[in-house]
């Protein structure tokens, strides 16, 4: 039987792991700040997720290429600098082509540089593996993060405004619950979703255990 780690390193499995079982936000608790701050709407969530995913991919590839050059204490600062460079690039692209989204995300675009998700993947995966594996890991994690942010954004938008991606979903008589769009609502939504994900995952593994025996 292959271990979890083996599975993570096969590209297809890495994708699935990143989106579901090892979802960076909802299972691993990485990259919390943007997930709480900008996910007021589904669109913001999607945009933030994709931008982070791109920076993650580029950083992972770079770190993987440079692996072996730096080790020990100096590695975290190096990862930070690499992701800062790509975050600056992402900021310029967003500002140039998607100014509205860039405005909505605000200070959290440069803050991609210090997103724990990127640091964690650079440290745990990219600096220890080849280009292909690093890329698969980054894409899986990036997509998983994007999916989670979009989900949080969609739910908060639905409850806080009655719409998803700007399209009104709930009947016009719905009285939006403004809390959902506030910081308190963000904390609550992410916390609850994490609990749900964990409950589902433990329910599944429990089921598997019982099937096996």
The only residue of 60, 91, 102, 146 in contact with another protein, by rule CB under 8 A:
91
Can residue 111 be called a binding residue for another protein (CB under 8 A)? yes
CB-nearer residue toward another protein: 15 or 105? 105
C-alpha dist (Å) from residue 201 to 69, 82, 112, 121: 38, 34, 28, 22
CB-nearer residue toward another protein: 166 or 187? 187
CB of 79 to another protein, least distance (A): 9
d(CA 102, CA 120): 25
CB of 209 to another protein, least distance (A): 15
Do 133 and 149 form a contact (C-beta atoms < 8 A)?
no
CB of 9 to another protein, least distance (A): 25
Task: Determine the length of the chain.
Answer: 213
d(CA 61, CA 169): 40
Residues in contact with another protein, shown as a per-residue x/- string from 186 to 205 under the rule CB under 8 A: xxx-xxx-xxx-xx--x---
Residue 194's H or E segment, with its range, is helix 183-212
The only residue of 4, 71, 81, 169 in contact with another protein, by rule CB under 8 A:
81
Minimal CA–CA distance to 191: which of 29, 20, 22?
29
CB of 41 to another protein, least distance (A): 15
Can residue 185 be called a binding residue for another protein (CB under 8 A)? yes
d(CA 130, CA 107): 33
- Residues 61, 33, 108, 151, CA torsion sign: positive
Footprint of another protein (CB under 8 A): 29, 31-33, 36-37, 73, 76-77, 80-81, 84-85, 87-88, 91-92, 107, 110-111, 113-116, 119, 175, 177-180, 182-188, 190-192, 194-196, 198-199, 202
């Amino acid at each position: 039987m292959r271990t979890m780690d083996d599975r993570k390193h096969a590209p297809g499995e890495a994708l699935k792991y990143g989106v579901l079982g090892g979802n960076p936000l909802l299972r691993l608790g990485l990259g919390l700040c943007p997930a709480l701050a900008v996910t007021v709407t589904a669109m913001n969530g999607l945009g933030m997720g994709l931008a982070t995913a791109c920076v993650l991919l580029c950083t992972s590839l770079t770190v993987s290429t440079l692996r072996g050059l730096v080790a020990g204490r100096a590695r975290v600062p190096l990862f930070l600098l690499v992701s800062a460079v790509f975050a600056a690039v992402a900021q310029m692209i967003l500002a140039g082509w998607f100014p509205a989204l860039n405005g909505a995300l605000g200070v959290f675009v440069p803050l991609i540089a210090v997103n724990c998700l990127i640091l964690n993947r650079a440290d745990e995966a990219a600096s220890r593996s080849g280009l292909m594996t690093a890329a698969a890991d980054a894409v899986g994690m990036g997509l998983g993060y994007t999916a989670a942010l979009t989900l949080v954004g969609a739910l908060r938008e639905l409850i806080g405004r009655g719409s998803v991606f700007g399209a009104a979903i709930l009947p016009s008589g719905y009285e939006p619950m403004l809390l959902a769009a506030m910081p308190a609502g963000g904390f609550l939504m992410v916390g609850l979703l994490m609990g749900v994900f964990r409950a589902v995952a433990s329910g599944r593994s429990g089921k598997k255990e019982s099937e096996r025996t």
